[in-house]
Amino acid sequence: MNVPKQTGEIFDILSRGQFICSNSSRETIRRLYNVLEEHFDELRNYFGAIYFTLERGDEFFYFSRSESKTDLERKIETAYKWIDIMDFFKTFDSAFGPGYRFTPSDILVRLNVDAALKNKIEGLKKYSNDENYAESLRKIVRMLVNDNFIELENEISDSYKALSSFKYLEQLVLSIAIPEEVRSEIPE
């Protein structure tokens, strides 16, 4: 089978549950994105042969399997964590989404004047295990970096950027259906 020479690199990243995003600030990732875009069909077949499904999202690629290897509980746990974290960042700025840039210090400043935000970071302590807000936030940010939803764009100014893979989370949230009668019970 004829596959591009970057296939190994692509596999390395995707098979670890990471994303390849078009708006990454890393040149190599963008290059891989272009390769994927160009050879999508070949690569989909190729990876399909080793039981990985290459999935195309809006400006990002990721792997799934035909059959899950994790149990539902773990998935729920992960999804809960994401919901909490997303909720926190969306409270910080409702425009938080792919391409959004921020520095942790922006958020820390807002914590002092925004009680709702403060409340939410308290709620995130169960993931960060840290009393200190700055440290807690840093851990949360690192979690998102590790899951490949945001990345460190500038080390000197400590600024982060939300990757297009953040859309994966948004779509996950949108895909959960809330029955009409339940929705009417939720306060505005």
Partner 1 sequence: MFSFHSIKELINTLNRERDLLSELFEKRRIPFKEEYALELVDFREERLEFLKERGVVRSNGPYIEIDDQFLQFFELILEVNEEINTSYIHESIRQIRENILYYLQESNQGRKYSYLRAVKMSLRKIGRIMLRNVVDLNRNIENTFKTEPTYRVKIAKLENYDRKRQDITALLDQTERLLAEDEQTFFRAALDEELKQITTDLRFLMNESRHNLIEIQKQIIEYLNQIKYQSRVTEKLRQIKYLKDQFELRTRTDIDEVLGRSHSLIFEPNPSYPLKLSLEFLQTDEALQSILRTALKLKAASGTVGLPLADGIGDDYLRAETEREVIINLDELKNGFEASGNHLFGFVMNYTFPREVSFEERITLYCQMVSFYEKDLNVTETFGRHEGLEYAMVYPR
Rounded least distance, CB 26 to partner 1, Å: 19
In this chain, which stretch among 2-10, 40-48, 70-78, 125-133 interacts with partner 1, using CB under 8 A?
Answer: 70-78
For partner 1, which is the closer residue by CB, 16 or 27? 16
List 53, 112, 132, 154, residue binding partner 1 (CB under 8 A): 53
CA angle 77–68–90, rounded 5-degree value:
40
Residue 60 interacting with partner 1 (CB under 8 A)? no
Q: Which of 9, 42, 87, 106 binds partner 1 (CB under 8 A)?
A: 87
Q: State the DSSP code for 114.
A: -
Contacts for 63-72 with beta carbons within 8 Å, 24 or more apart? 63/14, 63/15, 63/17
Candidates 89, 102, 90, 96; CA nearest to 161 is 102
User: CA 105 to CA 107: how far, in whole Å?
Assistant: 5
**Chosen residue from 50, 72, 113, 116 binding partner 1 by CB under 8 A:** 72
Q: Which is nearer to partner 1, 12 or 135 (by Cβ)?
A: 12
